[in-house]
Amino acid sequence: MDQQIENFLLQISIANTQSEHTQQSYSLDLKKFKEFCLREGIDHFEEVDRNFILNYIAYLRKECLLKTSSIARHLSCLRSFYHFLRECGVMQKDPFVKVSAGKKSQKIPEFLYAEEMDELLDSIPLDTKENIRNRALFELMYACGLRVSEAKDLKLQDVDFHEQMIRVVGKGSKERIVPFHDEAKEILEMYCREVRKYWCSDDVKEVFVNQRGKPLTSRGIQYLLDKVVNESPLRMHVHPHMFRHSFATHLLDNGADLRIVQELLGHKNLSTTQVYTHISQKKIIDTYNHALARAKKRKNE
């Protein structure tokens, strides 16, 4: 069993079809599944059938207390693993036929209102090299709806300053072209001209680097964001993905077509993008209730 897991992880690593984080999650998920198999007297993965998978889902929900979204991630991993086993000739039947984790509740993404985003970005002064880098980084993440992984992996060759476009390599190595506005261009050019060229050598391809000339990491970007937020007037927790959520929400709030937002975000399915329409509807209701409460207060006065 261990050898089959190792072979599968090696295969997806060589194929480079999943991120390093996903590969680590797959390893943990398969270890948990193997332990459950052994606990239930299953010594070979090929002995697993649909009923066993349903029992495993019940185990994840009742004993591990996992949410539906986490169970769905487990099943996604196992589907890929059993697809690999069938390709290797180990399995003949698919034990995942008509198996699902159950109805998944839709979580409304966290975002910043346009005024809050302006307040956050404007709070970064352009007085030091580090601040210029931070301002360029977060301006671009918001202007282009970048994931933190996309921001850290962005290469200088993928930035077209003349056309004001960047080429983004997203999940599953899917590429998309995203424009950026004049202010983002101005600050990004300032960073490249006044900071980056002094911090790193020409052989470094990534756009955003630290003071030692090394590319930023995802954890490093989170650290920088925490520092920026602490020094800003905002009194709330802000995580990097909120730039992407805010980008999509503000586009829809200002009349952008859902299909265009889908393309800019690099979503494969429109249903993934539609979650942002719920944010816009919620904003309308919140604004209405807030205005009505103010009207009632004036009337009572």
- pLDDT tens digit sequence for 98-151: 666 555 555 667 889 889 999 999 999 999 999 999 999 999 999 999 999 999
Bridge partners of residue 168, in order along the sequence: 176
Q: Is 56 a catalytic residue?
A: no
Model pLDDT, residue 57: 85
User: Cα separation of 159 and 65, whole Å?
Assistant: 45
Mean pLDDT to the nearest integer, 62-71: 82
Catalytic residue among 50, 86, 241, 283: 241
Yes or no: is domain 114-285 CATH 1.10.443.10?
A: yes
Strand order in the sheet with 175-179: 159-160, 165-169, 175-179
Catalytic residue among 74, 245, 250, 267: 267
Q: Is 276 a catalytic residue?
A: yes
Catalytic residue among 135, 185, 244, 245: 244
The more confident residue out of 190 and 285 is 190
Contact status, residue 29 vs residue 8, Cβ threshold 8 Å: no
Which of 30-39, 180-189, 280-289 has the least mean pLDDT? 280-289
Model pLDDT, residue 278: 65
Q: Where are the domains of the chain?
A: 2-87, 114-285
Q: Is 244 a catalytic residue?
A: yes
As given in the structure block, the two tokens for residue 289 are 């209730």
Model pLDDT, residue 287: 61
Mean pLDDT to the nearest integer, 69-80: 83
Mean pLDDT to the nearest integer, 237-249: 93
Q: Which span out of 27-36, 106-115, 151-160 was modeled with the highest average pLDDT?
A: 151-160
- Residue 35: pLDDT above 60? yes
CB neighbour class for 92 (10 Å; exposed up to 12, middle 13-18, buried from 19): exposed
Q: Is 147 a catalytic residue?
A: yes
User: Cα separation of 217 and 71, whole Å?
Assistant: 28
Catalytic residue among 171, 176, 278, 283: 171
- Residue 75: pLDDT above 90? no
What SS3 state is found at 261?
helix
Catalytic residue among 147, 152, 185, 196: 147
What would be the CATH architecture of the domain defined by 2-87? Answer: Orthogonal Bundle (1.10)
- Residue 165: pLDDT above 60? yes
